[in-house]
Amino acid sequence: MFEDRTAAALQLAERLMIYKGQNPLILAIPRGAVPMSRIIADKLGGELDVVLVRKLRAPSNPEFAIGAINENGQVYLAGHAAQIGATPEYIEAEKAAQLELLRERRLRYTPVHPPADPHDRIVIV
């Protein structure tokens, strides 16, 4: 469908041109979307930042998700979490572990400034 990610980003930027000049905030999900989002932010004259999320892993299978957490500590927990053995204690420990990883990653991605404030802005993820 697309020649490569750059071509896809350029096509998407063209469709989003209605936001040019409105200082949109382009949020990229690392790692694959960051280069594409840079192209889009540049074309629209917007600001680029990353949005960091982590999977909450199941107790017996770390590849299986029982939920997700963002860097602000907001959690989505799937309905099946308790059914597969995720106790409240396990969930709290998993949240803490993933939140620590998110904090480390934020420091790596944007060490010189805090996350961009999306309040009252057009946000494109």
CA separation for the pair 94, 68 (Å, rounded) = 10
Per-residue pLDDT band for 115 (boundaries 50, 70, 90) equals confident
Q: Has residue 29 got a pLDDT over 80?
A: yes
pTM: 0.74
- Mean pLDDT over 45-63 rounds to 94
The greatest distance separating any two alpha carbons of the chain, rounded to the nearest whole angstrom, comes to: 50
CB 36 within 8 A of CB 5: yes
The per-residue pLDDT of the chain, averaged, comes to: 93
Q: Has residue 27 got a pLDDT over 90?
A: yes
With residues binned 3-state (H G I as helix, E B as strand, rest as coil), the percentages for the chain, rounded to 5, are 40, 20, 40
Structural domains in the chain, CATH included, are 5-50+119-124 (3.40.50.2020), 54-109 (3.30.1310.20)
Per-residue pLDDT band for 42 (boundaries 50, 70, 90) equals very high
Q: Which two tokens stand for residue 50?
A: 């990353």
CB 81 within 8 A of CB 59: no
